[in-house]
Chain A
Amino acid sequence: MKPARPAPPKKRDWSWRSQALRSVLYQVVALALVFSAGYYLLGNTLDNMRLRGIKSGFDFITQPAGFGIGESIIPFDSAESYGKAFAVGLSNTLRVAVVGIVLATLLGTLIGIGRLSRNVLLRSLCGAYVEFFRNVPLLLQLFIWYFILTETLPTIEEALRPLPGVFFSKNGLQFPIPVWTDSHVFTLAGLALGLLGVWWWGRQSRQHFEVTGRSRPVWLPGLLLLIGLGLLGWLAGGSPVALDIPEKSELNVVGGGSVTPEYMTVLVGLTIYTAAYIAEIVRGGIQAVPFGQHEASAALGLSRGKEVRLVLLPQALRVIIPPVTSQFLNLTKNSSLAVAVGYPDLVSISTTSLNQTGRAVECIAIIMACYLTLSLLTSWFMNAYNRRSLLKER
């Protein structure tokens, strides 16, 4: 028997008809075309910019912005730099995107499950929701919500008061917020301890189950632990109860936390729109699990709850999570429509800067760089998750 030998080095055949030569030729031609087109366009751009006196460069970032921003979580005034304005814009985008993602996922999951209900009324209602909100453009939906929130609500003098201390009017939603004192640190510490306790209890229960076969309740004790330790922390800090409650003054409502109608429009519009898409994805994922899996679980005697937890959800989530991550990205990108209703997100602030400085290329480049970073980060996480969770096959 002959022993195994290493493979001989690859010989490239450079004759006229060889595949290798041709492929190199094609690529050289293609790249040459792309580069020469790029060179031509760049040349034109520089000429045009010189002609119109448009300056270029990112130096405007440090100059004072000269405009105010309607709302932000970081204090900003018009004397601050453009760079800070962009940062505020990004923070506004994230502020609406993160909350929107959480709410849209909750709502979308509920509606997706509702579409699989045995009750025909619930099924039809959820189906109608999905069909209506998917087939109308998001921009139009935002305009409609904006109209509802700014025209049909009463003025601030006659604001609606659904709960004590909560005011709902054309000027937005005002609500009481706790006043931050140092003693709140104890509350936070208590909650952190509670989380640790929940994790520890979960681990203990799992080990107990593996050793004895009897399972212990996890959710209720965990919740009680979290609330209990949080409460203890609060008491330890001296039970601070100070609340900043909005109060009606003559013409206005002062105090408390608030959200503007613009923020609410973008949040509600994005949530309801994206939830419709997430509902369809959840429904598709659950239906993608073959019926045989349900039969096998039933034949083994698994109760419905255990079947969902151990067999249905792991398989359904594999199908659901990648497209849902895309929807999260879509929501973040769609938040750029905020410019149409006056919410100062990244695109809106960029547009204002563009109009003031004339640096179109730079401003647009900043927008694209920010969104591209978010997209690439999300794709990277999703690919990592996909690789880990792939059903291992031959």
Chain B
Amino acid sequence: MTTESPLIEFAGVNKWFGEFHVLRDINLRVGKGERIVICGPSGSGKSTLIRCINRLEEHQEGKLVVDGTELSDDIKAVNAIRKSVGMVFQQFNLFPHLTVLENLTLAPMWVSGVPKKEAEERAMQQLQRVQITEQASKYPLQLSGGQQQRVAIARALCLTPKIMLFDEPTSALDPEMINEVLDVMKELAHQGITMLCVTHEMGFARSVADRVIFMDHGQIVEENTPDEFFNHPKSDRTRDFLSKILAH
């Protein structure tokens, strides 16, 4: 447990989609190197929570500080934050008109001003990390779902982020491909990167997470270590949810 200031801090954060109150009084601190899994029923606001961290969604009330910078309407600050926060989407969202290598070098070259050769070297390193170097010159639509998601992870890593956000990364994959992606995520977790992961993969949560957070109706209902969370859930809602999700 670190005593330095948290890397991410939510203080009384509230968000509305029109009239719908989607995040209610969120208070959360994430320290450096922490691995957090967020679970909950659909519509509970889990994706919205992590999307607030890189300002893909804007909160209306409360304070949200990421890596020392408070998130607000200041677009320059937001763009600076996005360089240190990487995101992996459920639908991969790779750029279909660029090769895998070009997908990875796009942001370093055009956002960080990295020279092309260096960007390509870095890209190959990240592809090595996710074990997919042989596909570098292929186009995304030529790869399988699991391969595409691994490329998406490598693309986020190319900016050497301090925080990695995963928004249901395996939900759109066929069962036999889920493991290859989870293995990559576990490897990243062991290398000490700070990560927040929204997922239904409870096995992953048990083996990797430092904390498991359960959300329902826009609120954090319970957060605890995996051990405590799965074996001694405190709230009835949590118990109810776990019974449904761990049934088979």
Are chains A and B touching in the complex at the 8 Å CB cutoff?
yes
Residues of A within 8 A of B (CB): 209-215, 290, 292-293, 295-296, 298-303, 306, 310-311, 314-315, 318, 391-394
Q: Which residues of A contact B139 (CB under 8 A)?
A: 391-393
The chain A residue with its CB closest to the CB of B88 is: A299
Q: Which residues of B contact A292 (CB under 8 A)?
A: 89, 91, 93
Is B110's CB under 8 angstroms from A306's CB?
A: yes
Q: Which residues of A contact B110 (CB under 8 A)?
A: 302, 306, 310
Is B115's CB under 8 angstroms from A211's CB?
A: yes
The chain B residue with its CB closest to the CB of A318 is: B97
A211 to B119, CA, bound (A): 10
13 A-B pairs in the complex with CB atoms less than 8 angstroms apart: A292-B89, A295-B89, A296-B89, A296-B95, A298-B82, A299-B89, A300-B107, A300-B155, A302-B111, A310-B106, A315-B97, A318-B97, A391-B96
What is the distance, in angstroms, from A137's C-beta to the closest C-beta of chain B? 39
Q: Which residues of B contact A298 (CB under 8 A)?
A: 54, 56, 82
What is the distance, in angstroms, from B56's C-beta to the closest C-beta of chain A? 6
Is B97's CB under 8 angstroms from A391's CB?
A: yes
The chain B residue with its CB closest to the CB of A207 is: B116
Considering residues B79, B95, B109, B119, which has the most beta carbons from chain A within 10 angstroms of its beta carbon?
B95
What is the distance, in angstroms, from B71's C-beta to the closest C-beta of chain A? 13
Is A300's CB under 8 angstroms from B111's CB?
A: yes
Is B115's CB under 8 angstroms from A393's CB?
A: no
- What is the total of A-B residue contacts with beta carbons within 8 Å? 86
Is A301's CB under 8 angstroms from B79's CB?
A: yes
What is the distance, in angstroms, from A147's C-beta to the closest C-beta of chain B? 48
| Interface presence of B153 (CB below 8 A) | no
What is the distance, in angstroms, from B223's C-beta to the closest C-beta of chain A? 25
A293 to B92, CA, bound (A): 9
Q: Which residues of A contact B89 (CB under 8 A)?
A: 292, 295-296, 299
| Interface presence of B114 (CB below 8 A) | yes
Residues of B within 8 A of A (CB): 54, 56, 79-80, 82-83, 85-87, 89, 91, 93-97, 106-107, 109-119, 139, 141-142, 155-156, 159
A295 to B113, CA, bound (A): 21
A306 to B110, CA, bound (A): 8
Considering residues B56, B89, B110, which has the most beta carbons from chain A within 10 angstroms of its beta carbon?
B110
Is B142's CB under 8 angstroms from A393's CB?
A: yes
Is A394's CB under 8 angstroms from B82's CB?
A: no
Q: State which of A212, A290, A393 has its C-beta within 8 Å of the C-beta of B141.
A: A393
The chain B residue with its CB closest to the CB of A392 is: B139
A314 to B102, CA, bound (A): 14
Is A214's CB under 8 angstroms from B54's CB?
A: no
Q: Which residues of A contact B112 (CB under 8 A)?
A: 213
Considering residues B86, B93, B159, which has the most beta carbons from chain A within 10 angstroms of its beta carbon?
B93
Q: State which of A210, A212, A306, A314 has its C-beta within 8 Å of the C-beta of B97.
A: A314
Is A299's CB under 8 angstroms from B114's CB?
A: no
A300 to B152, CA, bound (A): 11
Q: Which residues of A contact B91 (CB under 8 A)?
A: 290, 292
Is B56's CB under 8 angstroms from A299's CB?
A: yes
What is the distance, in angstroms, from A391's C-beta to the closest C-beta of chain B? 5
Extra contacts, 9 of them, besides A211-B116, A213-B116, A393-B142 (Cβ < 8 A), are A210-B109, A213-B114, A299-B86, A300-B156, A301-B80, A301-B111, A310-B106, A391-B139, A392-B139
Q: State which of B94, B116, B119, B159 has its C-beta within 8 Å of the C-beta of A301.
A: B159
Q: Which residues of A contact B118 (CB under 8 A)?
A: 213
Q: Which residues of B contact A393 (CB under 8 A)?
A: 139, 141-142
Is A210's CB under 8 angstroms from B141's CB?
A: no
Is B87's CB under 8 angstroms from A299's CB?
A: yes
The chain A residue with its CB closest to the CB of B79 is: A301
Is A301's CB under 8 angstroms from B107's CB?
A: yes
The chain A residue with its CB closest to the CB of B84 is: A301
Q: Which residues of A contact B155 (CB under 8 A)?
A: 300
A82 to B94, CA, bound (A): 60
A209 to B111, CA, bound (A): 12
Is B93's CB under 8 angstroms from A315's CB?
A: no
A261 to B97, CA, bound (A): 46
Given contacts A295-B93, A391-B139, contact A213 B113 (CB under 8 A): yes
A306 to B112, CA, bound (A): 13
Q: Which residues of B contact A213 (CB under 8 A)?
A: 109, 112-116, 118-119
What is the distance, in angstroms, from B48's C-beta to the closest C-beta of chain A? 13
Q: Which residues of A contact B82 (CB under 8 A)?
A: 298-301
What is the distance, in angstroms, from B52's C-beta to the closest C-beta of chain A? 13
Is B142's CB under 8 angstroms from A392's CB?
A: yes
Given contacts A213-B113, A302-B110, A310-B106, contact A296 B142 (CB under 8 A): no
Is B115's CB under 8 angstroms from A212's CB?
A: yes
What is the distance, in angstroms, from B149's C-beta to the closest C-beta of chain A? 13
Q: Which residues of B contact A391 (CB under 8 A)?
A: 96-97, 139, 141
A212 to B110, CA, bound (A): 12
The chain A residue with its CB closest to the CB of B94 is: A296
A295 to B119, CA, bound (A): 22
The chain A residue with its CB closest to the CB of B99 is: A392
What is the distance, in angstroms, from A89's C-beta to the closest C-beta of chain B? 43
Q: Which residues of B contact A301 (CB under 8 A)?
A: 79-80, 82-83, 107, 111, 159
5 A-B pairs with least C-beta separation: A301-B82, A210-B116, A296-B93, A292-B93, A213-B113
Q: Which residues of A contact B96 (CB under 8 A)?
A: 315, 391
A151 to B112, CA, bound (A): 62
A227 to B97, CA, bound (A): 35
What is the distance, in angstroms, from A307's C-beta to the closest C-beta of chain B? 10
What is the distance, in angstroms, from B118's C-beta to the closest C-beta of chain A? 8
A98 to B89, CA, bound (A): 46
The chain A residue with its CB closest to the CB of B113 is: A213
A214 to B116, CA, bound (A): 10
A377 to B66, CA, bound (A): 57
Is B141's CB under 8 angstroms from A293's CB?
A: no
A60 to B83, CA, bound (A): 74
Q: Which residues of B contact A394 (CB under 8 A)?
A: 141-142
